């Protein structure tokens, strides 16, 4: 049945050359699983992307139940955890996945740096990778406030105060994040919009450029 559907689509859209071009792409010898250590350190980028996909899928599930206002936010999270089937598992995956994604991205960045993969002709992709790192930190920071409990409130307050200490532009950053003078309803609304719409869109755009450049320039050489 699946074969018939695939043949029907392939006959009309000619999809075989598209996925063949991706699946048949050769990788350097030093990334071969036979070279255990080298293959291991070169897998951090792929694992990071896998975790990001899990974050996106679990986040889509969470937004079906989350209510982004200060009256119902915490109650909606409790309902998700205690009443929705598998809700506690999905939220746990999203919560811990955020930390794991940043750790894996940090390890990937270290691998790129210590193997010199940021050098010519991959300088621009290095910049894209650094931007991706900051976007991931932004996603972690904005998502932390959404449960709207005491820990999230005071952690966000401290984070905004740190941002406000940045020379020249600090007060403007803090004002943008708060949406006012205190951590309140506008702050929660802005963090939700940033976490669900703006930062994911930026993340996907940067990932697209990142993968395009990897495809165009290839994987960097051995240690």
Q: In this structure, is residue 76 part of a structural domain? A: yes
> Would you call the peptide bond into 181 cis, given omega within 30 degrees of 0 as the criterion?
no
Q: What local confidence, expressed as pLDDT, does residue 94 receive?
A: 98
Show the DSSP H helices in 72-148 as ranges. Answer: 73-82, 87-114, 123-145
Query: pLDDT tens, 40-81?
Result: 788 899 999 999 999 999 999 999 999 999 999 999 999 999
Q: What are phi and psi of 166, to 5 degrees?
A: -65, 130
Q: What percent of the chain has pLDDT over 70?
A: 96
Q: In this structure, is residue 26 part of a structural domain? A: no
Q: In this structure, is residue 174 part of a structural domain? A: yes
CATH no. for residue 144?
Answer: 1.20.810.10
Q: What local confidence, expressed as pLDDT, does residue 223 receive?
A: 65
CA–CA separation, 92 vs 98, rounded Å?
10
Domain containing 123 equals 36-217
Q: In this structure, is residue 29 part of a structural domain? A: no
Query: pLDDT tens, 172-199?
Result: 999 999 998 999 999 999 999 999 999 9
CA–CA separation, 143 vs 193, rounded Å?
10
CA–CA separation, 86 vs 54, rounded Å?
15
Q: In this structure, is residue 223 part of a structural domain? A: no
Q: In this structure, is residue 20 part of a structural domain? A: no
Q: In this structure, is residue 136 part of a structural domain? A: yes
Whose CA is closest to 38, among 120, 103, 117, 99? 117
Alpha carbon 64 to its chain centroid, in Å, reads: 19
Q: In this structure, is residue 22 part of a structural domain? A: no
What is the secondary structure of 154-206 as a DSSP string? HHHHHHHHHHHTSTTTHHHHHHHHHSSSSSSHHHHHHHHHIIIIIHHHHHHHH
Cβ-contact 31, 42 below 8 angstroms: yes
Cβ-contact 138, 98 below 8 angstroms: no
Question: Per the structure, how many domains does the chain have?
Answer: 1
- pTM given for the model: 0.90
């Amino acid at each position: 049945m699946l074969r018939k559907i695939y043949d029907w689509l392939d006959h009309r859209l000619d999809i075989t050359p598209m996925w063949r071009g991706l699946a048949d792409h050769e990788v350097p010898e030093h990334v071969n699983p036979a070279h255990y250590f080298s293959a291991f350190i070169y897998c951090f980028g792929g694992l990071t992307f896998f975790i990001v996909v899990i974050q996106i899928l679990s986040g889509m599930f969470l937004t079906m139940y989350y209510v982004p206002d200060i009256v119902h936010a915490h109650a909606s999270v409790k309902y998700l955890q205690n009443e929705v089937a598998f809700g506690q598992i999905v939220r746990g995956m999203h919560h811990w996945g955020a930390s794991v994604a940043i750790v894996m991205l940090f390890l990937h960045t270290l691998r790129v740096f210590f193997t010199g993969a940021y050098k010519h002709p991959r300088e621009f992709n290095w910049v894209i990778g650094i931007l991706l790192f900051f976007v991931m930190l932004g996603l972690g920071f904005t998502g932390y406030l959404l449960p709207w409990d005491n820990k999230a409130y005071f952690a966000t307050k401290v984070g905004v105060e740190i941002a406000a200490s940045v020379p020249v532009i600090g007060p403007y950053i803090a004002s943008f994040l708060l949406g006012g003078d205190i951590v309140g309803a506008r702050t929660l609304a802005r963090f939700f919009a940033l976490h669900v719409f703006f930062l994911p869109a930026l993340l996907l755009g940067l990932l697209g450029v990142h993968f395009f450049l990897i495809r165009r320039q290839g994987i960097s050489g051995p240690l």
